[in-house]
Structure 1
Amino acid sequence: MLKGNFFQGLGYLGEGFGLIRRPGLRLFVIIPLVLNILLFGVLFYFMAELFAGLIAMAMGWLPDWAWLQSLDWLFWLLYGAVILLMLAYGFVILANLIGSPFYGYLAELTEKELTGQALDTGGGWMQILRDIPRALWREVQKILYYLPRALGLLILGFIPVVNLLAALLWFAFNCWMMALQYVDYPADNHRVSFPALRRGLGARRLSAFGFGLPVALLAMVPVVNLFVVPAAVCGATAYWVREAHIAEK
């Protein structure tokens, strides 16, 4: 039987948006936010330049008919769709790779804000620098967990009739991954292993899906998704403090 509270899980992201506005947490929200904006601004600029060249090449292959030459706007609509898909499926992975050292410390500060007790992880900027390799390795573990399962769901999507179920499974899996992704930050601060984290979230699966659902939806909204990531870290920390029930190993 599934355990947890789905509706309570839904509330954690909203609580996270409230927490990121607190003075003691703002700095570790702003730094990765600025880094993400700069990175994606550069990536989208070069993608636009590349796509403009591809459009010009494609238009050069078409017959010299006026109505065909006016179809370049359709290609730009395609570019917009590609950008949206990138934001939906690639943003969270890249944003977390960039900001993972900061998000671990943000989770630590959030836990202190919620409980009034400091977590003894060394603290400070030097600790953030020392934690970079470990934080990146945790992100790699999550990617390695995600990819084979995503590939399996992608294959199911090509099977007639089954692909209708695959779409629902894909979305449910993304909700689960969002919970796993962000609760990992406070879990890592407590030195909980990645397998232990998965078991712990599985024990409160309804709460985990409730938390992951709005995160998965808002991650697909341009601009909003820039703020979802730090809010999700804070919301996941609130989840950890209140109901994670994960054995610290």
Structure 2
Amino acid sequence: MVKGNFFRGLGYLGEGFRLIRQPGLRLFVVIPLIINILLFGLLFYFLAELFSAMIAAAMSWLPDWAWLQSLDWLFWLLYGVVILLMLAYGFVIVANLIGSPFYGYLAELTEKHLTGQEINTDDSWAQIIRDIPRSLMREVHKILYYLPRAAGLFIIGLIPVVNLLAAVLWFVFNSWMMALQYVDYPADNHRVSFPDLRRSMGESRLSALGFGLPVALAAMVPVLNLIVVPAAVCGAAAFWVRENRPSDVQNV
């Protein structure tokens, strides 16, 4: 029997957007946001330079006809579409790799804000820096969980007729992954392993899908996906407190 409440899950991202405006949480929203903007700004610039060179090379191969030479705007339009799609689908993975140490602490502060209880972790900047390798490895574990399942869905999508079902499965799977991705931050603060988290969230799967669905949709919208990551972290902390926080969790 599938447990949880899909509609309750839908509300956690909205709560996350409200929480990121709290004075005590803003710093750990702003820092990774600035890093991500700078990184993607540089990436966009270098990709534009590379694409500009590719357009010039392609145009040099075309006959010297005025109407053909004027097609460069079409290439730039194509570039814009490709870049938007790359940023939309790749942003969440890269943003989480960069911001994971900050997002773990943001989840901790959010949980403290919601419960009034301390999480007995070292919250110094030195500890945040020391946590970078462990946080990155945790992100790698999530990517390794994602890739084989995504590959399986991709193969299913190549089968005629069955690929209609694959589209629905992709949507459900991405919603599930978004919920896992962000609820993992508060779970990690309590030293709950990723396999244990998956089992725990399986017990409230409908709530998880309700939370992950709007996150997955927002992640595909350029600019909005810059803000949705910290909001999803805060929303995931609320999810953890109300849906998945084990009664026997011991703070360490």
Q: TM-score, normalised on structure 1?
A: 0.97
3-state SS of paired residue (2:191): coil
Matches within 5 A, 1:161-176: 161-176=161-176
**1:162 shift after superposition:** 1.7
**1:2 shift after superposition:** 1.3
Matches within 5 A, 1:100-249: 100-246=100-246, 248=249
Q: Is 1:59 paired with 2:59?
A: yes
**1:118 shift after superposition:** 1.0
- Per the alignment, residue 79 of structure 1 pairs with 79
Deviations 1:163-197 (A, max 9, x none): 22111111111111100000000000000000001
The one-letter code of the counterpart of 2:194 is: F
CA RMSD in angstroms comes to: 1.3
**1:235 shift after superposition:** 0.1
**1:66 shift after superposition:** 2.0
Distance, in Å, in 2 between the alignment partners of 1:74 and 1:210 is 39
Give unpaired runs (5+ residues) of structure 2.
none
Distance, in Å, in 1 between the alignment partners of 2:152 and 2:75 is 30
Q: Is 1:4 paired with 2:4?
A: yes
Distance, in Å, in 2 between the alignment partners of 1:156 and 1:64 is 45
**1:111 shift after superposition:** 0.4
Distance, in Å, in 1 between the alignment partners of 2:132 and 2:49 is 33
The one-letter code of the counterpart of 2:195 is: P
In terms of mean alpha carbon deviation, does 105-114 or 142-151 score higher? 142-151
Distance, in Å, in 1 between the alignment partners of 2:165 and 2:77 is 29
Question: Could you tell me whether the CA contact under 8 Å between 1:184 and 1:197 is conserved in 2?
Answer: yes
Question: Could you tell me whether the CA contact under 8 Å between 1:87 and 1:221 is conserved in 2?
Answer: no
Distance, in Å, in 2 between the alignment partners of 1:87 and 1:244 is 31
**1:71 shift after superposition:** 1.6
Distance, in Å, in 2 between the alignment partners of 1:67 and 1:174 is 43
**1:245 shift after superposition:** 4.5
3-state SS of paired residue (2:159): coil
Give unpaired runs (5+ residues) of structure 1.
none
Count of residues in correspondence between the two structures: 249
- Per the alignment, residue 15 of structure 1 pairs with 15
3-state SS of paired residue (2:26): helix
The one-letter code of the counterpart of 1:108 is: E
Q: Identity of paired residues, percent?
A: 79
Q: TM-score, normalised on structure 2?
A: 0.96
Distance, in Å, in 2 between the alignment partners of 1:204 and 1:88 is 28
3-state SS of paired residue (1:25): coil
- Runs of 4 or more, structure 1, over 4 Å off, are 245-249
**1:243 shift after superposition:** 0.9
The one-letter code of the counterpart of 1:3 is: K
Distance, in Å, in 1 between the alignment partners of 2:87 and 2:6 is 26
